Copies of this chain bind each other. A is one copy, B any other.
Amino acid sequence: MENFDLHDYLKARKAMIDQALEHVLPLPEGPSDKVVEAMRYSLAAGGKRVRPILLMAACEAVGGSTSSVMPAACALECVHTYSLIHDDLPAMDNDDLRRGKPTCHKVFGEAVAILAGDGLLTFAFELLAHPDMKNALDPSTLLDVVYVFADAAGINGMVGGQTADIIFEGKTTDAQTLSFIHSKKTGALIRASVEMGAMLGNGRQEQVKNLKKYGTALGLAFQVVDDILDVVGDEQKIGKPVGSDEKNQKATYPALFGLEQARKKAVQLKDEALAALADFGPEAEPLRAIAAYVVERDR
C-alpha cells in the first residue's frame, strides 16, 4: 500500500460501481416502464458513490473479498438516490437541479418521482436478500446486514434526520438538535456503509466495532464539511448553488459555531476516525486516505 494514490483508487472504484449500477435494474418495459426509467435516470445521474466505496473498503479492511458484495454496495446507492429524489420534491426542498441535471420530478413528474423513490428503497432490500446472495454469504450475517441497513435508513436514521431537518428549518436550533440532525440525516447511512462492509467481510466483533466508530466520525465529518462548502465552496466544483443553507435557514455547524470552529470540528472528527483504525494494518489505507480526503475536499 505504499504510494497509495487515492485519486486513482476512487476513480477506479467509482467506475466499477457505475458499471454495476447500470446493470442492477431491469430494462424499462411494460405498463410500468416509466418508474424504472425514472429510477435509472436518477441512479445514473452521477455522484461520488461514497457509500458503495466505503462498503467495499471496509470489507477489504477486515480481509474480506469484494467479489460478492457488489449488490450490497449498489443497495446503498439505491437508498441514497431515493433519499435525494424525495428530498428534492416540491413538498420538501423543492430543487429543480441536482448535480447540474433536472431533478427526477422535473423530468418525470411528481407522482412518478415519489414512486421511483419508493421503488429504489424497496429494490435495495431485494438486492440484499436476493437468493444468489446466500451462495456466497452467510444468511444470518446477511439478515443482520438488512437490519443495520434498515435501521440506518429509517426513523432512527435518515428518515428521522430528514424529518428534524424540515421541522427545524427556519427555527433556532441548539447544538444538541444540530447534532441529532447531522448524525442521522447523512451520518447514519455512511456509518452503516462501513459497518455493513465490515460485517459482510466477516470481520471480528472488535473490528466491526472499531469500523463502526470510524464510520460514525466520518459521517459527521462529511456533513460538517458539506455545511462549510455551502458557505465557502466553489459553485462550479460542488455542482450546486452555494448559500442555500443560509437561504433556507437550515441548521448548520458554521451557522451555529462559526466557520473556524466548524473547520476545527471537521479535523477533530477526522482524527477520531483515524484513531479507530489504529489496530488495522495497510489493508485499511484506503479508509485512512478517505478520512483525510473527506475533510480536505473542495467539492
Residues of A within 8 A of B (CB): 26, 30-32, 34-36, 39, 82, 86, 89, 91-92, 109-112, 114-115, 117-119, 121-123, 125-126, 128-131, 133-134, 139-140, 142-144, 146-147, 149-151, 153-155, 159-164, 166-168, 177, 180-181, 184
Contacts A140-B134, A155-B35: A125 and B123 contacting too (C-beta < 8 A)?
no
CB distance from A200 to the nearest CB of B (A): 14
In the complex, which residues of chain B have a beta carbon less than 8 angstroms from the beta carbon of A155?
26, 32, 35-36, 39, 119, 122-123
Name the 7 nearest CB pairs between A and B, nearest first. A91-B110, A122-B154, A31-B164, A32-B160, A129-B146, A35-B163, A129-B147
In the complex, which residues of chain B have a beta carbon less than 8 angstroms from the beta carbon of A119?
154-155, 159-160
Q: Please tell me which one of the listed residues B26, B31, B130, B150 contacts residue A181 in the complex, with CB atoms under 8 A apart.
A: B31
Contact A147 B126, beta carbon cutoff 8 Å? yes
Give the number of times this chain occurs in the complex, counting copies: 2
**A17–B157 Cα gap in the complex (Å)?**
26
Contacts A86-B114, A112-B166: A146 and B125 contacting too (C-beta < 8 A)?
yes
Contact B121 A122, beta carbon cutoff 8 Å? yes
CB distance from A234 to the nearest CB of B (A): 30
Q: Please tell me which one of the listed residues B26, B114, B139, B166 contacts residue A111 in the complex, with CB atoms under 8 A apart.
A: B166
**A244–B122 Cα gap in the complex (Å)?**
29
Contact B143 A114, beta carbon cutoff 8 Å? no
Contacts A155-B39, A155-B119: A114 and B92 contacting too (C-beta < 8 A)?
yes
In the complex, which residues of chain B have a beta carbon less than 8 angstroms from the beta carbon of A92?
111, 114
Knowing that A112-B167, A115-B166 are A-B contacts, what are 12 other residue pairs whose CB atoms are under 8 Å apart, sorted by A's residue number?
A26-B155, A31-B160, A31-B168, A31-B180, A31-B181, A86-B118, A91-B109, A119-B159, A129-B147, A129-B150, A131-B144, A134-B143
Which residue of B is nearest A184, CB measured?
B32
Contacts A126-B151, A143-B134: A163 and B32 contacting too (C-beta < 8 A)?
yes
Q: Please tell me which one of the listed residues B36, B129, B144 contacts residue A144 in the complex, with CB atoms under 8 A apart.
A: B129
Contact B31 A167, beta carbon cutoff 8 Å? yes
Which residue of B is nearest A140, CB measured?
B139
